[in-house]
Amino acid sequence: MTNVLTNRFHLKGAACDIQVYEQHGGYKALPKALKEFKPEQITEEVKKSVLRGRGGAGFPTGMKWSFVPKESKRPKYLVCNADESEPGTGKDRDLMRFDPHQLIEGMIIAGYALSSNTSYIYIRGEYWYIKEILEKAVAQAYAKGYLGKNILGSGFDHDLYVHPGAGAYICGEETALLESLEGKRGHPRLKPPFPAVVGLYGGPTVVNNVETLAVVPHIILNGGEWYKALGTEKSGGTKLFTVSGHVNRPGNYEVPMGYPLMSLINNECGGMLGGRKLKACIPGGSSVPILNAEDCEKMTLDYESAASVGTMLGSGGVIVMDETTDIFETTRNVTHFYKHESCGWCTPCREGTRWLYKVFERMHRYEGRPGDVELLYDLADKILGKSFCALGDAAAMPVQSAIKKFREDFERRIKHNIVQIQKAAD
Amino acid sequence: MLSQANEKKLDEIISHYPVKRSAILPALYLAQEEHGYVTDEDVKYLAQRLDMRVNEVEEVVTFYTMYSRKPVGKYKLQVCRTLSCMLMGAEQIAEHLEHKLKCGMNETTPDGKFTLMEVECLGYCDLAPCLQVNFDYHEKVTTESVDKLIESLK
């Protein structure tokens, strides 16, 4: 395992204390950034690292930062998206509860790069105890002069606040998150304008995932080229993957980009539970297309390889399913999730996810009508690319890919087919 | 109306933002902590306190699943139902709790002690199946460990 982001995890949370964090290499990058770098040089270094957003969309981080205008009449903001709620993902949870200062240090440096004086960590409400860990760490950082006015005599001021969400998956979408932070319902905003130009309170705003920001101190200390070289040519660095489901050792694992998916399952995770056979795997959180065992053999954990087998790296939530799993049932489960989490703003997503689930429900009772499998596929098609934000796509892609790869699990739910099967058996 | 201690906390929270309204989510947690749920008075009071209209507070409260507008049990037992937990047996945990407490989903036991809920992904996928009791997480739960947990909740 390559330890960059997880190199203090063995301290089992002791690094939450600022002294322990400092003893283990912490708050070395911040003074270096403030002394040796101009703000735009930090953005350049991040560009060299080819770091891409680790929340799910994979947008190049340095490029995102460079969209923020230098001069702005309104204050600029940095917002950390800690609303981790993509099913299958629990990596930001461990980054924050085991090493909160790593994130805070990354945020101060990012704030300096953007010439922003205020940042917020928007953390999902369920992670209340982690919010308390972060607040304690922030207070320690203030006491040491890493936050506040004139940080380490540099003339740069930065304030950081922790803000709780309240149980809405949609608030992980960056513009819905900003609406929520402004005290409203979490409805996504129309883009453009993008947040980098008009974001929080109308000011230029960068929203980055926890893992993305936690990488920043390492890029400053060791250089963008160094970080890039840890991974592949196009997908630089390392990434955290949360492995869940039917494996012997589920957990969070940091591996270099380009690491084979099957090695992660067989080595890090100790293989399949009970020695059973692999049937399917969702490699990037429940929103991305599902893979069959054959695809899994081919896939390495990087953006390009994921695309080549028709899926995405997403948030890095690897959900592993063995041969006993009914893919109809797992797809019904995630469809319920998207139906529940659709914010209700646009028609294709609000109505489409409900209608999808209605068909799933009757098939679940083995009362599927002839043509229901095609109906599901078609309904998903009517959502895909037609919704206001990406939640619609996230609901549609799992359904379509599951039908493509595991059609027999769906066909079994059609009443007509069951009668045929019974007749054949008699 | 909040307690003096919570009023002080709210003042501090409001100071984090350029507009008061941004404090509505944290403020609702304070109200809920004090009264067990978000009361009609809380909605009116917080609207006035944060320069919002009553309907604006109401639309926020009803959007986010972590707030309740009606009384709930002392312990909210929230069983995660989403994929990773489902794969590891969340349905059995949910059924077991329904039988044990003789209480359906989204219902409260007659003594007002427990409210049983099925919730969507809690972010403990690698530690599945998981259960949250109010704000406390319980990982890799089994029917046996859930029984012990229920006994320990007074």
The arithmetic mean of pLDDT across residues B103-114, rounded, is 96
Separation of first and last alpha carbons in chain A: 55
Q: Which amino acid is at A96?
A: M
Confidence of residue A1 (pLDDT cuts 50, 70, 90): low
Band (A420; pLDDT cuts 50, 70, 90): confident
For chain B, say whether A27 makes contact (Cβ under 8 Å).
no
User: For A72-88, how does the pLDDT look when each residue is reduced to its tens digit (9 = 90+)?
Assistant: 999 999 999 999 999 99
Domains of chain B: 4-63 (1.10.10), 75-153 (3.40.30.10)
Look at A330 and B83 and tell me if their CB atoms are within 8 Å: yes
Residue (of A164, A115, A156, A161) closest to A137 by Cα position = A161
Q: Can you tell me the distance from the alpha carbon of B110 to that of A414, in angstroms, rounded to the nearest whole number?
A: 41
**Interface touch A341/B124, C-beta < 8 Å:** no
In three-state secondary structure terms, A183 is: coil
Pick from B63, B81, B132: CB nearest A168: B63
Chain B contact for A199 (CB, 8 A cutoff):
no
Cα–Cα distance for residue pair B4/A107, rounded to 1 Å: 34
Q: What is the pLDDT of residue A106?
A: 98
Helices (H), A309-368: 327-341, 347-364
Is the CB of residue A125 less than 8 Å away from at least one CB of chain B?
A: yes
Q: What does the pLDDT look like over A145-171, one tens digit per residue?
A: 999 999 999 999 999 999 999 999 999
Q: What chain B residue is nearest to A245 in terms of C-alpha separation? A: B84
Residue A178: per-residue pLDDT? 98
Q: Is some CB atom of chain B closer than 8 A to the CB atom of A161?
A: yes
B53 touching A (Cβ < 8 Å): no
Query: pLDDT tens digits for B132-142?
Result: 999 999 999 99
Please give the order of strands across the beta sheet that includes A291-292: A251-256, A238-245, A317-322, A278-282, A291-292
Please give the torsion angle defined by the CA atoms of residues B30, B32, B36 and B37, in that order, rounded to the nearest 10 degrees: 160
A246 vs B: CB within 8 A: yes
pLDDT digits (tens, 9 = 90+) for A186-226: 999 999 999 999 999 999 999 999 999 999 999 999 999 99
Dump the DSSP string for B50-62: TT--HHHHHHHHH
A250 and chain B in contact, CB less than 8 A: yes
pLDDT digits (tens, 9 = 90+) for A19-49: 999 999 999 999 999 999 999 999 999 999 9
For position B146, what pLDDT does the model report?
A: 97
Q: State the DSSP H helix or E strand holding residue B14, giving kind and residue range, or none if neither.
A: helix B4-14
Choosing among B59, B68, B83, B140, which should be mutated to test the A contact, i.e. which has the most A CBs within 10 A?
B83
Is B19's Cβ below 8 Å from some Cβ in A? Answer: yes
HSE (CB half, 13 Å, CA atoms) of A233?
0
For residue A331, the chain B residue with the least C-alpha distance is B83
The predicted structure's pLDDT at residue A416: 72
What pLDDT, in 10s, does the model give residues A222-279?
Answer: 999 999 999 998 899 999 999 999 999 999 999 999 999 999 999 999 999 999 999 9
Instruction: Count chain A–chain B contacts defined by CB atoms under 8 A.
Output: 142
Give the mean pLDDT of chain B: 97
Residues of chain B positioned with their CB less than 8 A from the CB of A120: 16
- Average of per-residue pLDDT values in chain A: 96
Q: Is B82 on the interface with A (CB under 8 A)?
A: yes
Q: Is A288 on the interface with B (CB under 8 A)?
A: no
- Select from B25, B126, B133 the residue whose CB has the most chain A CBs within 10 Å, as the one to mutate to test that interface: B126
Q: Which of residues 102-141 of B touch A (CB under 8 A)?
A: 119-128, 132, 135-137
Q: Which of B19, B87, B132 sits opposite A245 (nearest CB)?
A: B87
* Interchain CB distance below 8 Å, A166 and B29: yes
pLDDT at A426 over 90: no
The answer, yes or no, to whether residue B7 has pLDDT greater than 60, is: yes
Residues B35-50 have pLDDT tens digits of 999 999 999 999 999 9
pLDDT at A419 over 90: no
Residues 6+ apart with CB under 8 A from A10: none
What are the tens digits of pLDDT across the range A343-386? 999 999 999 999 999 999 999 999 999 999 999 999 999 999 99
Q: Is the pLDDT of residue A423 over 90?
A: no
Binary contact (B63, A125; C-beta < 8 A): no
| Alpha carbon distance B140, B130 (integer Å) | 6
Separation in Å, CA of B63 to nearest CA in chain A: 6
* Cβ contact, residue pair A85, B67, below 8 Å: no
Contacts of B126 in chain A (CB under 8 A): 90, 242-244, 250-252
Whether pLDDT at A340 is above 60: yes
Contact yes or no for A56/A284 (Cβ under 8 A): yes
Query: Which of B16, B88, B123 is the closest to A161 by Cβ?
Result: B16
B68 reaches A (C-beta below 8 A): no
Nearest residue in chain A measured CA to CA from B134: A126
